[in-house]
Amino acid sequence: MKHKGLFFAISIISLWALSLLYLLNYPIDFANPLVYVFVLIQMQLYTGIFITAHDAIHGVVTPDNKRLNNAIGFVCATLFAFNNYHKLSRKHHLHHKNVVTDDDPDYYAGGFFRWYLKFALEYVTFWQILLMAITYNLLKLVYPIENLILFWEIPAILSTLQLFYFGTYLPHRGEHEAHDLHKARSQKLNHVVAFISCYFFGYHHEHHAYPYLPWWKLAEAKEQEELINNKA
């Protein structure tokens, strides 16, 4: 499929939006296990929104149409708690250029929680918080507060933890082999786990080695890396 990246981007955005619209009116019963399943589904879709913005930063959503690529990235970054697409782009390229150094905005030589806090503070701005607050107060005029918290706010927070844990902390923590120029490790080969955990970004060495690959091609890259390593 020629426009596979565009297809995945539109699909993820559409599924996220339709799911949210449905869930904002969903009757909440904490004894109903579907409530918790829906929270996790919405979290996964939020993660897909951010991953799409990330792919746009690398120019691989619509490689032959830079304007459309950046427009999709801007929309996805905005949907993900009003993140600034241009700021994300600038800092993410710094991450690739200076991975696991003092000039890497995503790196911190410390434990999980302090690293996560530093990671969050690197990107969260006053204007972002203000826009979220305004949006929340407008939405609560239309939708139940419980639904907003459960299906709009909590999945977004959980998604940041998912993205940080599988896409930053696990790949870059600790010591790395001297010959590893990318300073990034990958999770074991298991495409089901890799997709559910973070849209294949647990295959993080492959992402740093081939940053021009969209998320849905990282599985193939991991398979190729495994073949090369097994032959070595």
The pLDDT tens digits for 38-67 are 999 999 999 999 999 999 999 999 999 999
pLDDT at 183: 92
Distance CA 144, CA 25 (A): 7
Residue 80 near residue 46 (C-beta atoms within 8 A): yes
Q: For residue range 115-173, what is the model confidence (pLDDT) as tens digits? A: 999 999 999 899 999 999 999 999 999 999 999 999 999 999 999 999 999 999 999 99
In the block, residue with structure tokens 């609560």:
140
- Sequence letter at residue 160: T
Distance (Å, rounded) from C-alpha 194 to C-alpha 200?
Answer: 5
Residue found under tokens 């993410």:
92
Q: Is the pLDDT at 229 greater than 80, yes or no?
A: no
pLDDT above 90 covers a percentage of the chain that reads 88
Task: Please give the pLDDT value at position 200.
Answer: 97
Alpha helices (H) along the chain: 4-23, 33-57, 66-79, 85-97, 112-123, 126-139, 145-148, 154-164, 170-172, 191-198, 204-209, 218-231
pTM comes to 0.94
> What is the spatial distance between Cα 54 and Cα 47, in angstroms, rounded to a whole number?
10
Record the tokens describing residue 213, joined without a space.
């690959």
- Mean confidence (pLDDT) of the chain: 94
* Residue 179 pLDDT > 80: no
**CA atoms within 13 A of residue 18's CA, in its CB half-sphere:** 6
Q: Which of 48, 64, 54 shows the shortest CA–CA distance to 96?
A: 54
Which pLDDT belongs to residue 180?
Answer: 79
